[in-house]
């Protein structure tokens, strides 16, 4: 049973709160001053505290401070007279969950306290999950608690203790970098650097210098010596994302690094030893690329000493609720918005969508919806307008608003324009970026969001 502790010197207010919450199956306990309330807090261990600001003796602000010291995770909802709004805002700055004017409105206080119960339950779930799976708790707290994610956590724990090179397989947005970070965190290299490199985001002419470094004068414009990312990761872990985009010439050099554990900077005469672990990731079918002669078979087998396949979000729908609430909490902190919950019909819309962009797309939808929402609970209307075409929630042209239809049309037009430009430039991203009058990185980010691959437009 959920437990609510009310600390208020007004008996009528305490009776009103009890009348609201007891029919909801909530155990309500009341204390009429701060000292008694703090004593009860220690023995009752409530899920939520409802705290009056103005009380004789110890006032609500001081009680709040002591509650935050005793249990910083417990949500505290403040009750205040209308004239005390400034003090209530101060309480929010000290960590209060929310505040309400007295006398409380039945529906409003019910919504707020239920949100507080949900927040407390979510934090408790995360804490328990961390206890259950030990070091894997960080990854589970990032990705979810489904059977599929528990299996990933087990694999991470197994391979982290080894020196194996790891290949992560999965669609864009499935969390491959998070898994790489988890392997690093659980390995003996955890105190050393974790260096992440996106092989699709670095222009081909610069990639060798970026990875291996260069000596002064190695090429035009090399006016000083530069250490490469492999050297900077000394003792740690290098994560090579989108490894399928690595040019063939660099594939041969990477293979030599994996075999000899040596690097030779551009323009350098001597090779130097490196001590790093390599983790690679791809959303390509590398075996297919090998059969097409676009990826070295010997490099593939070197990278795939241990493989972890990450499931798409549509194949682990049990995690959508967990992730949506986690993203909501993060985004509200980032954007300084007071939204504390997602409406049930909005959550149903999220759970009914296929998420071609996976968890990354889910976070973007939550972020955009929070930015435009003006209510305390994120409504379905705020969520639906940012969902793409594969929603199972009847998000069709006939049921969209004009703004929703326009936004969807703009996304479709942008997708088509990028594809057309890449087709004209033979998959050359640098040239396509110039044609589109944008920078290389922006184009790469948009391609990743749309799931567009430059290789699909290259001459066969």
Q: Which two tokens stand for residue 166?
A: 């790891």
Query: Are residues 99 and 187 located together in one domain of the fold?
Result: no
pLDDT value of residue 134: 53
Position 137 in a domain: no
Position 325 in a domain: yes
Query: Are residues 425 and 334 located together in one domain of the fold?
Result: no
Region of poorest pLDDT, from 92-101, 149-158, 191-200, 313-322: 92-101
Position 326 in a domain: yes
Phi, psi (degrees; rounded to nearest 5) at 282: -155, 150
pLDDT value of residue 407: 62
**Pairing between β-strand 76-80 and β-strand 98-101 as defined by DSSP bridges:** parallel
pLDDT value of residue 394: 38
Taking the C-alpha atoms of residue 89 and residue 242, their distance in angstroms, rounded to an integer, is: 47
β-sheet bridge partners, residue 194: 237
Residue range 226-252: mean pLDDT, rounded: 92
Position 67 in a domain: yes
CB 146 within 8 A of CB 313: no
Query: Are residues 301 and 341 located together in one domain of the fold?
Result: no
Other beta carbons less than 10 A from residue 188's beta carbon: 11
The model's confidence at residue 395, banded by pLDDT at 50, 70 and 90, is: very low
Taking the C-alpha atoms of residue 428 and residue 438, their distance in angstroms, rounded to an integer, is: 14
Region of poorest pLDDT, from 98-102, 343-347, 350-354, 398-402: 398-402
- 290-344 pLDDT per residue, tens: 999 999 999 999 999 999 999 999 999 999 999 999 999 999 998 888 888 999 9
pLDDT value of residue 401: 53
For 116, the enclosing helix (H) or strand (E) is helix 106-133
Q: Give the E-state strand segments of 249-391 in sequence order.
A: 262-263, 272-273, 277-282, 306-309, 341-342, 377-378
Mean pLDDT of the chain: 87
The model's confidence at residue 128, banded by pLDDT at 50, 70 and 90, is: low
Taking the C-alpha atoms of residue 107 and residue 387, their distance in angstroms, rounded to an integer, is: 30
- 46-100 pLDDT per residue, tens: 999 999 988 988 988 999 999 999 988 899 999 987 666 677 778 888 888 998 8
CB 126 within 8 A of CB 141: yes
Domain of residue 258 covers: 159-311
- Whether the pLDDT of residue 189 is over 80: the answer is yes
Query: Are residues 329 and 304 located together in one domain of the fold?
Result: no
Query: Are residues 86 and 175 located together in one domain of the fold?
Result: no
- 368-394 pLDDT per residue, tens: 999 988 888 999 988 988 887 444 443
Query: Are residues 351 and 227 located together in one domain of the fold?
Result: no
In 134-266, which ranges are continuous DSSP H helix?
A: 137-143, 147-160, 176-186, 204-212, 229-232, 248-260
Position 217 in a domain: yes
**Pairing between β-strand 277-282 and β-strand 272-273 as defined by DSSP bridges:** unpaired
Nearest one of 125, 117, 118 to 50, comparing CA atoms: 117
Residue range 433-451: mean pLDDT, rounded: 82
**C-alpha triplet 38, 100, 28: angle, nearest 5°:** 45
Domain count, the chain: 4
Q: Which two tokens stand for residue 112?
A: 């707020």
pLDDT value of residue 269: 73
Taking the C-alpha atoms of residue 446 and residue 433, their distance in angstroms, rounded to an integer, is: 11
Taking the C-alpha atoms of residue 109 and residue 50, their distance in angstroms, rounded to an integer, is: 10
Order of strands across the sheet with 277-282?
194-198, 237-241, 277-282, 166-169, 306-309
pLDDT value of residue 129: 57
**What is the CATH classification number for the domain harbouring 385?**
1.10.8.60
- Whether the pLDDT of residue 136 is over 90: the answer is no
**Measured CA distances, 330 to 173, 177, 225, 320 (Å):** 17, 18, 40, 15
Position 401 in a domain: no
Higher pLDDT, 379 or 140: 379
Nearest one of 94, 102, 113, 104 to 3, comparing CA atoms: 113
Query: Are residues 204 and 263 located together in one domain of the fold?
Result: yes
């Amino acid at each position: 049973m959920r437990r609510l502790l009310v600390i208020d010197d007004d008996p009528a207010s305490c009776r009103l709160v009890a009348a609201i919450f007891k029919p909801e199956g909530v155990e309500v306990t009341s204390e009429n001053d701060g000292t008694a309330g703090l004593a009860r807090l220690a023995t009752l261990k409530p899920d939520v505290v409802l705290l009056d600001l103005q009380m004789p003796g110890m006032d609500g602000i001081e009680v709040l401070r002591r509650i935050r010291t005793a249990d910083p995770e417990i949500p505290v909802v403040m009750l205040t007279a209308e004239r005390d709004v400034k003090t209530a805002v101060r309480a929010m700055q000290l960590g209060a969950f929310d505040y309400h004017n007295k006398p409380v409105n039945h529906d409003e206080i019910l919504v707020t306290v239920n949100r507080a119960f949900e927040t407390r339950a979510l934090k408790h779930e995360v804490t328990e999950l961390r206890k259950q799976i030990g070091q894997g708790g960080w990854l589970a707290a990032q990705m979810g608690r489904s059977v599929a994610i528990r299996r990933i956590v087990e694999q991470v724990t197994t391979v982290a203790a080894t020196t194996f090179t790891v290949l992560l397989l999965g669609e864009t947005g499935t969390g491959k970098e998070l898994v790489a970070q988890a392997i690093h965190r659980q390995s003996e290299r955890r105190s050393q650097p974790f260096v992440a490199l996106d092989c699709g985001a670095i222009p081909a002419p610069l990639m060798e210098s970026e990875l291996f470094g260069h000596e002064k004068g190695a090429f035009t414009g090399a006016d000083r010596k530069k250490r490469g990312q492999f050297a900077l990761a000394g003792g740690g872990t290098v994560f090579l994302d989108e490894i399928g985009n690595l040019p063939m010439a660099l594939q041969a050099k990477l293979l030599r690094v994996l075999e000899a554990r040596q690097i030779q900077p551009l323009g350098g005469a001597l090779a130097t030893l490196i001590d790093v672990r390599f983790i690679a990731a791809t959303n390509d079918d590398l075996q297919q690329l090998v059969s097409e002669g676009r990826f070295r078979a010997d490099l593939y087998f070197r990278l795939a000493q241990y493989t972890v396949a990450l499931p798409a979000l549509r194949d682990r729908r049990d995690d959508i609720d967990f992730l949506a609430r986690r993203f909501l909490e993060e985004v509200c902190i980032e954007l300084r918005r007071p939204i504390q919950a997602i409406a049930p019909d909005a959550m149903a819309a999220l759970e009914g969508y296929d998420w071609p962009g996976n968890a990354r797309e889910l976070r973007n939808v939550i972020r955009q919806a929070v930015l435009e929402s003006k209510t305390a609970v994120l409504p379905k209307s705020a969520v639906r307008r940012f969902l793409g075409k594969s929603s199972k929630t009847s998000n069709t042209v006939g049921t969209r608003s004009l703004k929703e239809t326009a936004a969807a049309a703009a996304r479709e037009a942008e997708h088509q324009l990028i594809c057309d430009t890449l087709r004209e430039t033979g998959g050359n991203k640098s040239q396509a970026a110039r044609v589109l009058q944008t920078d290389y990185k922006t184009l790469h980010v948009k391609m990743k969001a749309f799931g567009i691959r430059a290789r699909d437009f290259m001459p066969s």
